[in-house]
Amino acid sequence: MSFKTITLASIYELQGFKEEALEIYKEILKNDPSNQDAQNAYKRLTHVHKSFKGVNTKARNFFIQASTREELKIFERWLMQWN
């Protein structure tokens, strides 16, 4: 009996464990290629994964080096524009 289910993959995905979720979806599709839920989730996650550009190092460094409340407010405004 396999515990690798759509539900487990969804939980991993919600918790930010995208790679683990992708592996589960792949295994589900290997065993059941017609599983529509796994197909949709796999397509969605691989699209998100491919379009992720990585960490904005300039913004990350600004946040790490921020030493005043005003600098943190600047960073907060930058974050809010992406939300």
For 78, residues 6+ apart whose C-beta sits below 8 A from its C-beta are 59
Query: Residue 1 domain-assigned?
Result: no
Residue 58 lies in a domain: yes
Same domain, 40 and 72: no
Q: How confident is the model at residue 48 (pLDDT cuts 50, 70, 90)?
A: low
- Say which DSSP state 68 is in: S
How much of the chain, in percent, has pLDDT values that exceed 90?
37
User: In total, how many domains does the chain have?
Assistant: 2
Q: Is a pLDDT exceeding 60 seen at residue 52?
A: no
| Region 52-62 average pLDDT | 69
At 33-43, the pLDDT tens digits run 999 999 999 99
Q: How far apart are CA 79 and CA 58, in angstroms?
A: 13
What average pLDDT does the structure give for the chain? 83
Residues 59 and 47 in one domain: no
Give the residue numbers spanning the domain of 37.
Answer: 6-51
At residue 3, the pLDDT reads 86
**CA 11 to CA 6: how far, in whole Å?**
9
User: Can you give the pLDDT at residue 15?
Assistant: 85
Same domain, yes or no: 45 and 64: no
Contact 11, 24 (CB under 8 A): no
Instruction: Tell me, yes or no, whether 47 and 59 share the same domain.
Output: no
Tell whether 44 and 60 lie within a shared domain: no
Q: Locate 8 and state its tokens.
A: 């487990």
